[in-house]
Amino acid sequence: MSVPSIELTASPADTTDADAVVLPVRRTGDGPVPVVDGGFEWVGTTLARLGAKGGLDEVTKLTAPGGDGIVVATGVGETTDAASLRHAGGAALRALATASSVALAGGGLDAALAEAFAEGAALGAYTFTEYREGPTGPERLTLHADHDAAAVRLDRVRSVVAAVARTKDLVNTAPNDLPPAVLADLASQAAGSAGVTVRVYDEAALAEGGFNGILAVGGGSSRPPRLVRLEYAPAGASAHLALVGKGITFDSGGLSLKPGASMVGMKSDMAGAAAVLSAIVALAELQVPVRVTGWLCLAENMPSGTAARPNDVIRMKGGTTVEVLNTDAEGRLVMADALAAASEEQPDAIIDVATLTGAQVVALGNRITGLMGEDELVADLRGAAEAAGEPTWPMPLPEDLLPLLKSDVADLANTKLGTVVPGMLLAGVFLQQFVGRRDGEDAPRIPWAHLDIAGPSYNTAAPWGFTGAGGTGAAVRTLIALGERAAAR
């Protein structure tokens, strides 16, 4: 992972002490103005002369008076809040990939704003150089602020940034280097080093446990599937969250083969599992007093003589039978097994994260995650996502969609063919059927929410804020915030 060391000092940012000083500036009717203290009065006049406005994603490199260092003015827009400072810090660091050390001018910011500024900058410093040489980003960030490390929650910033970077690294890794077994090993190493208990289910254990959805999806690949169960259970935890992550390490569509162009980028179909892994590791590192179990559903969806066929019927974990009508609707099959397994442990809530449907992108685009599920949990997740700065939008789970999943031979079909349907919602309704109940058939379901990150998980457009090309780490910061909220109750 390319994560810079993050330091803190109460002294004003010195333009001679680092390769560059990052200065947030606000857009006003009178031109851009610095939003922090520290002797940067000259910056606003210089920016105005250059035609800069101080808008988001506007980054301007200036030479300090007397040629004494570089100041990078980064726009926060018209509002100075955590989201805009996080965005501005990231945009500046993306422009400083060749710098070795960077100072962040945060004098006068309150602790929460200083924290957001540092987090955004460190997120923006990410680079991925596994397969080619290039700038590796700054090695050191120094935040100049009027607070101590506890007030700025510097340890949290470090863990969050490392969690996002780990997720990006996994998503950006080429699929030939990341089959299910390798991803399971990497997950075991990362989780084990944080004190998280790990169990890996191989093919034999999957068969013994009735995880036939995962086995069917992975059956067409020469590289067999895995299920990884993680558990972080600190003493004194009063809440138990279960997190389920889709981990299709490459999705060809199986026998329902995708068009060639649609396969490009399908290495990212394991972003949900990567997010769950990284969030649990961060919660353990930060010793957040909440019990979290994670289920990483890992398979490679490939066409071959052993692949699942349309019209195959799978007896899923828990006994529900599913007729496969489209082998490219595979994510919901691996997730269904894990949702049933997670339900058996009766957690307080289950949250799943998946790059599940192209329909999410059609409905909400590439920056907004689709969110559906039980109302109270959805509201809690929205609050966590808002605090983290990850946009979500609540979507319904209409009961009238369930008949569309009718099969002539099984309990359910995995999709509906031959008609236009709201695909994101239909997938959510399918997953809902595998969420267990509290006690008996007529009892309420365990609170459950589903995050469809198909678009937000991988950026193929121009970089923006702290988000560069490729894997984004979507949902990681939301899940960490949700765990902290659960622990605080």
pLDDT bracket for residue 135 (50, 70, 90) = confident
Output DSSP code: residue 175.
Answer: G
Average pLDDT score over residue span 428-456: 94
251 is in an annotated binding site: yes
Which residue type occupies 233? Answer: A
Q: How far apart are CA 427 and CA 397, in angstroms?
A: 9
330 is in an annotated binding site: yes
Structural element, H or E, at residue 183: helix 180-193
Structure token pair of residue 218: 């992975």
269 is in an annotated binding site: yes
Which of 258, 367, 382, 445 is catalytic? The answer is: 258
Average pLDDT score over residue span 457-468: 97
Rg (CA), the chain: 23
Q: How far apart are CA 445 and CA 431, in angstroms?
A: 12
328 is in an annotated binding site: yes
Does the structure show a pLDDT above 80 at 440? no
pTM of the model: 0.97
53 is catalytic: no
Structural element, H or E, at residue 357: none
Does the structure show a pLDDT above 90 at 264? yes
148 is in an annotated binding site: no
Q: Which of 356, 338, 380, 120 is nearest to 239 (CA)?
A: 380
Residue with tokens 């809040």: 81
pLDDT at 1: 67
Angle between helical axes of 476-488 and 375-388 (0-180°, round to 10):
120
Does the structure show a pLDDT above 70 at 347? yes
Angle between helical axes of 154-172 and 111-124 (0-180°, round to 10):
20
Q: Provide the pairing of β-strand 197-201 with 226-232.
A: antiparallel
Give the model confidence (pLDDT) of 193-215 as tens digits: 999 999 999 999 999 999 999 99
Which residue type occupies 336? Answer: A
Which of 94, 332, 416, 477 is catalytic? The answer is: 332
User: What domains are there in the chain, each with its CATH number?
Assistant: 5-152 (3.40.220.10), 159-488 (3.40.630.10)
Burial 44-64 (b: 16+ CB within 10 A, else e): bebbeeeebbbebbbbbebeb
Does the structure show a pLDDT above 90 at 268? yes
Q: Which of 257, 265, 274 is nearest to 182 (CA)?
A: 274
Are the C-beta atoms of residues 274 and 245 closer than 8 Å to each other?
A: yes
Average pLDDT score over residue span 347-352: 98
pLDDT at 68: 80
27 is catalytic: no
Give the model confidence (pLDDT) of 243-252 as tens digits: 999 999 999 9
Q: How far apart are CA 216 and CA 180, in angstroms?
A: 14
- Ranges of beta strands (E only) in 202-281 are 226-232, 240-251
Q: How far apart are CA 480 and CA 452, in angstroms?
A: 17
Average pLDDT in the chain:
96
